A and B are shown apart, each in its own frame.
Chain A
């Protein structure tokens, strides 16, 4: 009996302590904010197989900077970044919590393996916009209420086709599509669009290798087709592996090798350098982050202070947050979900110095507002910018 009483006492004391801590936290946060905060959300794969933690972290750094200078209309921004762990079920819950319970005015800085596909329609139904920091899935570019700030792998691939034909003056442009479920058709479509738009003919389209497997067969196929430029799709580790296979076949000089922006990283150049397979051209969806372009100085300062890695991905999160802040600042009147959505859809669009073109969302049913990119090349000294902005129709 005595023992039971003791247990009961311990439980109730713990419960009281817990409750009081909750209450004190609430009252503290209540004291800090005289006005209601502007709630902005993000659904990202912060954990999981392909994590993108720096994208929402970069957005958070921008919002902190804005808050430090007084917020917008005297209201502070409250950024609620959710982790979906690349799990559609968790992403769906996160999306509903942010939109229905928290009542966010918009989403910004998301970078997820599953968010667009899972929540795209839900965002449309609730008329809430998501300025995705990194649109990973194809669906991110097919939804009326999602506007990614990056090119996306498909669009970036098309830019590289164009760069090969114009800047590199390649006669035989070849495409190696390392197959990824659900994306191969989109690549094939963008290739035939490019052929139609620019009246070109691609010399070879190889789809025989699965992304992540040994690319040697596809590389040998490009040798037979006498390619002057080979554009392939890959993530960061596969880009390094692909170039290693090119080197093994002694084909580094037999054509130009180009891949999409995922390989534009510090660790990739390190590996390319060490394995002696330099020369790779890679797309950059923003002002190339490894340069000392003055447009990057504010980005570098903000992210360094917030301890966020300086990568191409983190530019996406940063730009999406800046664009949203610009849109909210342009609102005359109450800041609500409706007014923010309307502001983002403004036919004027928004300029950002890290983008190659005006970011115009408008009323379209699908958005790919940023189609401008640059090309960098892997050299012994690091990534070197080798093109001006390339614009795609």
Chain B
């Protein structure tokens, strides 16, 4: 059971990082980006394709991260330029279209042949009691925490961070204060795209994903986002790791194992009902 939970934690760190990207992007730009996972997957798979062609791991990883960043930047540019006045729903639907397009493209490019996915971080193992733990797990959890800490510190204690916070409160007010919201939005798209590729590289060697399954990490990541009410990145981080762990544990419970893919959805549902309970009860009263 513990082995399964540990295996789940690595995937959970992927959920957490993509979840944090989703939440921040939503706060800064008002877009719920369903294609965030696919953007990261495109970066990660490009990196692996380069490794297969003989590129050094470090360079390939870097190129992959940059490509995901540029892809995120491009999607962000399209949304801010052409759909700035559209409703949140329209913009979310556009990101779903992007997701489908990327899934098709990814399948064409990387779908059909076996892919070597070497660890970016050299892997060693150590035993805790009877359980074998890899450094990847430790690094994954550690890196997830570091990313969350850095982002929190950046937002709270830097001028640029304050500008982002101002923008997340109100784009128009921020613009009136002389903040270049377009530049800030696009740089958020760029940075968070890169972050998603990092999640991809972190998860892939253990998760053994296809392009589609790596792209669809966005679903549990959304669940983590909902847990944090799309605000608190600490709850999102913990939530992502927790969902991974619960899925891992679920794999070892016979009656549950075949349905464990539903766990994130059930978590989303229960959380949403919990959040809504007050309004409904108030209305009844």
Contacts and interface: CB of A to CB of B under 8 A. Distances in A.
A237 B251 contact: no
Interface stretch (B70-78, B189-197, B201-209, B272-280): B201-209
B3 A220 contact: yes
B132 A237 contact: no
A248 B113 contact: no
Scoring A50, A217, A236, A268 by chain B CB atoms within 10 A of each residue's CB, the highest score goes to A217
A86 to B, nearest CB: 12
A220 B107 contact: no
B7 A237 contact: no
A267 B3 contact: no
A149 interface: no
A212 B213 contact: yes
A214 B11 contact: yes
B257 A208 contact: yes
A271 B206 CA distance: 15
Contacts, number: 91
Nearest to B7: A216
Contacts of A248: 123, 134, 205-206
Contacts of A328: none
Interface stretch (A55-63, A239-247, A334-342): A239-247
A139 interface: no
Contacts of B257: 208, 217
Contacts of A217: 4, 7, 248, 251-252, 257, 260
B30 interface: no
Contacts of B210: 212, 237-238, 241
B118 A245 contact: no
A50 B258 CA distance: 26
Contacts of A49: 107, 111-112
A275 B113 contact: no
Contacts of B199: none
A250 B208 contact: no
A216 B208 CA distance: 9
A188 to B, nearest CB: 13
B129 interface: no
Interface in A1-35: none
B212 interface: yes
Nearest to A250: B132
Contacts of A267: 113-114
B117 interface: yes
Contact of A236 (B7, B107, B113, B208): B113
Interface in B40-81: none
Nearest to A248: B206
A383 to B, nearest CB: 14
Interface residues of A, number: 31
B93 interface: no
A214 B209 contact: yes
A253 to B, nearest CB: 14
Interface residues of B, number: 32
A208 B205 CA distance: 21
B118 A275 contact: yes
Interface in A204-240: 207-208, 210, 212-217, 220-221, 236-240
Contact of A241 (B107, B114, B134, B252): B114
A372 B109 CA distance: 35
Contacts of A274: 116, 118
A221 B260 CA distance: 15
Given A208-B257, A217-B252, A244 B113 contact: no
A214 to B, nearest CB: 5
B112 A249 contact: no
A217 B206 CA distance: 12
B251 A240 contact: no
A238 B113 CA distance: 9
A239 B208 contact: no
B267 interface: no
A242 B208 CA distance: 7
Contacts of B205: 244, 248
| List of 3 A-B pairs having minimum Cβ-Cβ separation, nearest first | A217-B251, A241-B208, A240-B114
14 contacts: A207-B258, A208-B251, A208-B258, A213-B209, A213-B213, A214-B208, A216-B4, A220-B4, A221-B252, A240-B115, A244-B208, A248-B206, A271-B116, A275-B116
Interface of B: 3-4, 7, 11, 107, 111-118, 123, 125, 132, 134, 205-210, 212-213, 248, 251-252, 257-258, 260-261
Given A242-B208, A249-B132, 20 more contacts: A49-B111, A207-B258, A208-B260, A210-B261, A212-B210, A214-B206, A215-B208, A216-B7, A217-B251, A217-B260, A236-B112, A236-B114, A237-B114, A238-B210, A239-B114, A248-B134, A271-B116, A274-B116, A275-B116, A275-B118
